[in-house]
Amino acid sequence: MAGRRGKSRKRNGLAATVTLLLLLVAALCAAGAWLALTPFGPATETFVEIAPGTSTVRIGQQLEQSGVVHSQFAFDLVHWLKRGRLKAGEYRFDHPATVIEVYSRIARGDVYTRTITVPEGASIFEIAARLEQAGFGARQDFLVEQARQTKLVADLDPGAKSLEGYLFPDTYRFARKATTAQICATMVRRFRQAAAQLGLKENVHDVVTMASLVERETAVDGERPLVASVFANRLAHHMPLMTDPSVIYGLELDGQWRGAIYASDLKRDTPYNTYLHAGLPPGPIANPGLRSLAAAMDPAHTDYLYFVAAGDDPQGHSMFSSTLEQHARDVAGYRHALKKAGER
């Protein structure tokens, strides 16, 4: 009898121990589930920067220290279950979230970036203003830096005094701490991709300069080769290009632009005044897009020497002519249309 009672007590003790262990495991699982599934984190903007090569343990510590997750243990538990690869970068957290959501964001590399769109025909001045507005430093800092980074295009345009023309129009997403030098490099790299797509390898300076004039003279795709043909024909006839956007750019460089072009501006002697100086201006006056680059590389075959916005659509299509007499009639029609539009 004594032996049976001893065995019974051992069995009861073992059962109690197993039960305790099961309860402990269940409690741990419940705690883990609570930590993993209960939203936690900041209600205001918080940034966490994960450097390349950071261990998972260290990432969990950073998140806990920043108040993004309640516990490093929960983050480690999710990693043990998911076995994902975590990606470096800066992450922005601005609302309570579950550990699973936080982990998933880092696993898919949902890093924080700021978006800036550079439209076709934007100049360095306009790009600088957009970057300042997006929080990438002062406008003047970008203008200074882009002039320092001409080495980025030294093989394409050895005489370039700035990156004007080579900051390709596109929508970019930059890290919050991106430097102006990094921004310039990214935009130039995008230009090189576009140039390679078009097969632009020779005479790059002149092609980009011409394309920048085309870009600023028309927004109508079908007109770009025609505008390029006017410039090409005038150059062939040793005629001044007489393009207002180039004059304006020279005024901007000198800090003399008044927001509108006046007759006196056409007489102001800057290197970009294409009324006073024959040939192309010294360099690009804006950053052209793909279609203007293509037009500059292959202008239409015409005998046009003049163009002006169409009389019945002063903001849209242009009218092209081969003679000064026809051009004068087109200009008169354009001015009449502007006057009529102002009377409405």
Identify the CATH number of the domain defined by range 34-111. Answer: 3.30.1490.480
Dist CA 167 CA 289 (whole Å): 10
Question: Going by C-beta distance under 8 Å and a sequence separation of 6 or more, which residues neighbour residue 2?
Answer: none
Judged against a pLDDT cut of 90, whether residue 301 lies above it is answered with yes
Using CB atoms within 10 Å of the CB of residue 142, give its burial: 0 to 12 exposed, 13 to 18 middle, 19+ buried: buried
Average pLDDT over residues 121-140: 96
CATH class assigned to 114-198: alpha beta
Question: Which value, in Å, is the radius of gyration of the alpha carbons in the chain?
Answer: 33
DSSP secondary structure code for residue 256 in this structure: -
Taking only the tens place, the pLDDT of each residue in 252-274 is: 999 999 989 999 999 999 999 99
| CA nearest neighbour of 229 among 321, 149, 143, 332 | 321
pLDDT given for residue 158 in this prediction: 96
- Residue burial 150-160, b: 16+ Cβ < 10 Å; e: rest: bebbeebbeeb
Spatial contact of 12 and 20, defined as CB atoms under 8 Å apart: no
* 201 pLDDT tier (thresholds 50, 70, 90): very high
Dist CA 187 CA 194 (whole Å): 11
Dist CA 149 CA 177 (whole Å): 19
* 198 pLDDT tier (thresholds 50, 70, 90): very high
pLDDT given for residue 15 in this prediction: 59
pLDDT given for residue 335 in this prediction: 79
DSSP secondary structure code for residue 317 in this structure: -
Judged against a pLDDT cut of 80, whether residue 321 lies above it is answered with yes
Question: Going by C-beta distance under 8 Å and a sequence separation of 6 or more, which residues neighbour residue 249?
Answer: 123, 272, 281, 285, 286
Lowest-pLDDT choice from 12-26, 107-121, 177-191, 244-258: 12-26
**3-class secondary structure, 319:** strand
Dist CA 157 CA 163 (whole Å): 10
Written as six digits, the tokens of 81 are: 């279950």
pLDDT given for residue 59 in this prediction: 95
Judged against a pLDDT cut of 60, whether residue 244 lies above it is answered with yes
**Would the pTM of this model clear 0.75, i.e. be above it?**
yes
* 84 pLDDT tier (thresholds 50, 70, 90): confident
Average pLDDT, the chain: 89
Percent residues over pLDDT 70 in the chain: 86
